[in-house]
Amino acid sequence: MSVQNIRIAFNSSMRVLGKGIWRDLVNIRRYKLRLIGWLMNMTIGLGAAYIFGVILNFNPTTTSETGILSTQVFVFFAGGIALSTFDSTALWAPMQRVQQDIHYGTLEAVFVTPTSRIAYLLSPTIADSLLNLLFFVPSYLIILGVHGVLTDGYIVGTTFLIVLLTIISMISFGLFFAMLAILIRRIQPIAIFLANIFQFMCGAFVPVQAFIGINKTGGLILKNIAQIFPYTYCYDLFRFYMFGDVYITLFPVWLEYVLLAASSLFFVFLAYFLLKHVEKKAKQNGLSIL
């Protein structure tokens, strides 16, 4: 492929991506109650984290496995709730975009035009991550303030870096899940199942390190499953930088960065493989498969 053709393909992909993101942002603005609902969910979540922080204490096993003190329960829960806002970037946003286009019969147009399908699938995840970031920042500032580190530049910088890496990893998983939404029409049960994994198994509310302390055999199985998903390392690294060296990570910090990158790339490659499979199947059997 010549340089000119590469430039044309790149510009076309950027136009598709930009128009898709703009469409989603405009649609969200039209449904203000949805925005209010997101704000209420975050408020209720932080309220629940405060209640948990007052009435709950980590057991000795959890404390020894993670290094988290009983006085830090609120920050632990609040951080998990805040960071979990980005799971919709990986699940609900791409699923709703694909299912909406299937319903209106516009998905076929994407597969018959000479443009990037990846850009089409990226746009809902990026738009959703931008909106979630707007709701995340206030709760993030509250967590930093309660933890007494709002003016600590190192903690603010490192934790926000993990937030950005979380968005990137959720976008990579969103590409994979969008392809599943094309291949499997009624994918809501899978989305609910994965949402539960993201919120509970990956460490939003219960430290993954403590699973074995709850049940030796079952905890080991859950821990191994959690290590497949990049979200696990996002939670773990966020808490490492929030709590400092007293926090005991699942793996060495440098290795968690490697695993986060590797697992994110894995889902991107898997999405690309599924996309080629769908395109090949569409050429052989017609666009009715969409």
- Total-model pTM: 0.85
Candidates 280, 101, 103, 246; CA nearest to 178 is: 101
pLDDT score at 158:
95
Listed by start position, the domains of the chain span 3-289
- Residue 86 near residue 235 (C-beta atoms within 8 A): no
**Do residues 46 and 53 lie in contact, with contact meaning Cβ atoms separated by under 8 Å?**
no
User: So what's the pLDDT on residue 122?
Assistant: 84
Whole-angstrom distance, CA of residue 95 vs CA of residue 264? 18
- Please identify which residue in the block is written with the tokens 């830090």: 72
Q: pLDDT at position 48, please?
A: 73
Mean pLDDT per block of 10 residues along the chain (290 residues) reads 63 75 76 71 76 70 74 83 86 82 74 74 86 87 88 93 92 87 80 83 86 80 89 94 90 95 92 84 65
72-115 confidence digits (pLDDT tens):
788 888 888 888 888 888 888 888 888 887 777 777 777 777 67
Query: Across the chain, which distance is largest between two alpha carbons, in Å?
Result: 65
Q: Residue type for 41, please? A: N
Structure tokens, 28: 């969200």
Are 229 and 263 in contact by the 8 Å Cβ rule? The answer is: yes
The pLDDT value recorded for residue 184 is: 80
Residue 10 token pair: 């790149």
What is the rounded CA–CA span in Å between residue 290 and residue 283? Answer: 11
Q: Quote the pLDDT of residue 2.
A: 62
**What tokens appear for 253 in the block?**
């910090």
